[in-house]
Amino acid sequence: DAGVIQSPRHEVTEMGQEVTLRCKPISGHNSLFWYRQTMMRGLELLIYFNNNVPIDDSGMPEDRFSAKMPNASFSTLKIQPSEPRDSAVYFCASSFDRDEKLFFGSGTQLSVL
């Protein structure tokens, strides 16, 4: 299995631009999670899906952030407009069920200038 695949690996953009991060979970997993990691706040859960349905988005910082999961093999996290404080590593993770350990992708390093 290829594991959780995230793209792009690195993203550098200017303040105000739209950013879209992509994730392909492990085949057969039915839960998908988006996390953000910073030095100041550590790993924070932004949103998670179960069977393609958003279950909890209470971690999404503000309306500038949105996430979708149109099918079981693809999810996006969008930031519009982006701000410098959004700079972080964004991880996507999947699990076989809500009651299982997480498998993380390699992350997207986002820098907003």
| Site of interaction with other proteins (CB under 8 A) | 4, 31, 33, 42-43, 45, 48, 50, 55-56, 91, 93, 95, 97-107
What minimum distance in Å lies between the beta carbon of 63 and other proteins?
22
Closer to other proteins by CB, 57 or 66: give it.
57
| CB nearer to other proteins: pick between 30 and 81 | 30
Give the residue with the Cβ less far from other proteins, 3 or 16.
3
Interatomic CA distance for residues 19 and 109, integer angstroms: 12
